[in-house]
Structure 1
């Protein structure tokens, strides 16, 4: 098996870190080294990591982003592969065993597994669970089959270390390093892959405050990458550019779809309740079959998964608001030099916006 180092950036993760490290140290194929970057924590994050036997690195001050914390650890890695794990993500026991064979192909430089939600307690977590089931069992396999994954999720991706180091480490120029690296490597002619059978569970937003911060970072980062990479994607990786452009079309046309019942009621003989019924029925018809398939693949109770569908609509509303905000700020105001865009990494769980975990 290939040698592998796990890097866990952590800022004030005393509570969530034990589950992450327990999953790392219980791998069927154990890593050669585990490094926790205790990035300016005010709690016992470092002590927890040491208790598990991890190597703890402590920067002289909070570095301000996950990518910077990961880069602080990168010079301490000498293995062929590096697995970056968020401090609130839990890996399946066979995660490393299932994902490392992807690197038998020398063209593969980054690989990511199937991410699902750890908890489904609140409306926001339940909505995210639907989004993940749909995305990781519909969009990702199609993109992977076309050799054009849009992103290798930063919470549990494996990297070929020499290529990562040669690139300058985890990208710090955008607010979402995982998408930046995924696109950059494909533009360079290398491969990013999705490994469906390697499973991980991430702790997702349990409150609207957390959701807003996370979605704003994701959407702003997506648009930053569009601004930075789209021209080269069209020239060097046109199929990936197609996925990106389709995502942009979806963002721009989503308000029209959401307004369809009102438009139908105003322009046809349909009443508003009738138009709403038609709209909801169509939307559910497009959503249910992939969800049933995903639930069966993951061996989840289908009824429980389907009952979460109503929760996805509040989450979609938040996504749409911040997607449009990101388009306006990152693709209009920044090029006009009227804004710097989003530059502060803010995850939303830590008491400070400079959370690296």
Structure 2
């Protein structure tokens, strides 16, 4: 059995951190050590962490990003594996037990589980719950079967420590360290894997303000990695390059698909209402079956999941806006020397309301 250290980077997480640390204390396969990096917090984050009896590291000042906070803790790790867990993420009790066997394969250097939404109180959380159910029960399994997962989610990824150290730690050169490491390791012939039975629940943005920050960081980070890695992907990991190109094609063509019913109505004698109905039916046919499967797999009420489908469209609008912004900024303006791109790491979620601390994870209610 391999030894494992958990690193929890935390900045002003006094309200959300207890649920994360409680979930680590309940693991059926206990970690050897839990390290919380109290990264420039102005609240009681450090005090809360110490009350759980875990190791607390306090940098002299705010380090500015999750990757830097994780790297601050990395020299203190001496175990075979390092598990990075966000301070607002709750792990299922058997998460470590499920993820650890992935490293029986000596070629595997990073593994991550199935991320779902902790809360579904607002339209944004409900929309994200649909995205997660679809993505982690459709896209990720397909990518994993093809030995080319797009990303091992940074909120709950386990790493082979010696490889991570040799790489220089968690990458700081892009704004999304999880995708950067996942692509970098596959390019050099190592393996990243998705473990669908290991489940984690993330507290996602509950307001548009925080959703915009998170999505901008994700989309900018994706395009930064495209700029950094695409040439090598095409030659050394072509199947992963295919997923990346498909994602780029989806960004470019999404406005055309959304405009289809209006274009058809404007250029033919077909009325708009039936055309919109046809378009909506096509969306349901493409979306509902994977969601029904995901709901049954997660033992969630199928009707509740399906009723959340309309909520995904406001989220998609935000995704699309920032995806196009990222294309322009990171893939056009940065290469031309007209922009530095996104370099400032901002949290994408508001502090967890005190009333929700300790609440049970859910994905549809």
- Give the TM-score band, short-chain normalised: over 0.9
Residues 272-300 of structure 1: CA deviation (Å, up to 9, x unaligned): 11111111110111000000000000000
Q: Aligned-residue CA RMSD in angstroms?
A: 0.7
CA distance in 1 between counterparts of 2:184 and 2:24 reads: 28
Count of residue pairs the alignment pairs up: 351
SS of 2:14's partner is coil
2-structure distance, mates of 1:23, 1:289: 32
- Give the Cα separation in 2 of the matches to 1:347 and 1:243: 27
Aligned position for 1:6: 6
Give the aligned partner of residue 308 of structure 1. 308
- Cα deviation 1:77-125 (Å, max 9, x = unaligned): 0000000000000000000000000000000000000000000000000
What is the match of residue 91 of structure 2?
A: 91
CA distance in 1, matches of 2:99, 2:215: 27
Task: Describe the SS at the equivalent of 2:110.
Answer: strand
Name the counterpart of 1:70. 70
Q: Distance in 1 between matches of 2:157 and 2:299?
A: 23
Tell me the alpha carbon deviations over residues 13-63 of structure 1, each in whole angstroms, 9 at most, x when there is no partner.
Answer: 000000000001110000000000000000110011111011000000000
Structure 2 runs not aligned, ≥5 long? 352-365
Shift of 1:350: 6.1
Native 8 Å contact 1:89 1:155 kept in 2: yes
Using the TM superposition, give the Cα deviation of residue 141 of structure 1 relative to its aligned residue in structure 2, in angstroms.
0.1
Which residue in 2 is equivalent to 1:116? 116
State how far apart, in whole Å, the 1-side matches of 2:225 and 2:9 are. 23
Partner in structure 2 of residue 322 of structure 1: 322
Question: What TM-score does the superposition give when structure 2 sets the normalisation length?
Answer: 0.95
1:259 alignment partner, SS class: helix
8 Å Cα contact 1:11/1:350 also seen in 2: no
The Cα offsets for residues 232-263 of structure 1, whole Å up to 9 and x where unpaired, read as: 00000000000000000000000000100111
Contact 2:3 2:81 in 1 (8 A): yes
SS at match of 2:312: helix
Unpaired segments of 5 or more residues in structure 1? 352-357
CA shift for structure 1 position 348: 3.4
> Aligned pair 1:263/2:243, yes or no?
no
